[in-house]
């Protein structure tokens, strides 16, 4: 597979456009939402089959947020373990990395 093909596969994930913080495992539905407003993800261009996005949560109150959720509009896509513990209100920046790799044959 060449780099253009890896980049194209990687870019298919650019529809993931939002992130949330969760107080417990969100399962397959985005359950256990913290109530903190969902924030936008803005993706970099894919380079060598890899891209990243940062979600900026301007105000995260004290608490435990073991999970983040990734969204495509209103559709929950994926849970990501982050194990965030906040002792005082802070801004929080979550960087998500997505990549496409070619698997060696036989694996």
By the 8 A CB rule, do 36 and 82 touch? no
Provide the mean pLDDT of the chain.
92
59 within a domain of the structure (yes/no)? yes
104 within a domain of the structure (yes/no)? no
Pairing of strands 63-72, 90-99: unpaired
| Interatomic CA distance for residues 46 and 11, integer angstroms | 6
25 within a domain of the structure (yes/no)? yes
**Tally of domains in the chain:** 1
Task: Find the domain containing 71 and state its range.
Answer: 3-99
Q: What is the pTM of this model?
A: 0.88
106 within a domain of the structure (yes/no)? no
By the 8 A CB rule, do 47 and 37 touch? no
In the structure, what pLDDT confidence band is assigned to residue 105 with cuts at 50, 70 and 90? Answer: low
- Per-residue pLDDT tens for 31-78? 999 999 999 998 999 988 899 999 999 999 999 999 999 999 999 999
| Interatomic CA distance for residues 37 and 27, integer angstroms | 19
88 within a domain of the structure (yes/no)? yes
């Amino acid at each position: 597979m060449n780099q253009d093909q890896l980049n194209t596969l990687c870019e298919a994930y650019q529809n993931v456009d939002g992130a949330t913080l969760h107080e417990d495992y969100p399962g397959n539905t985005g359950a256990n939402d913290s109530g903190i407003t969902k924030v936008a993800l803005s993706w970099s261009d894919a380079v060598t089959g890899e891209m990243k996005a940062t979600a900026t949560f301007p105000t995260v109150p004290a608490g435990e947020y073991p999970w983040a959720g990734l969204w495509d509009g209103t559709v929950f896509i994926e849970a990501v373990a982050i194990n965030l513990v906040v002792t005082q209100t802070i801004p929080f920046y979550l960087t998500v990395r997505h990549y496409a790799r070619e698997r060696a044959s036989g694996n």
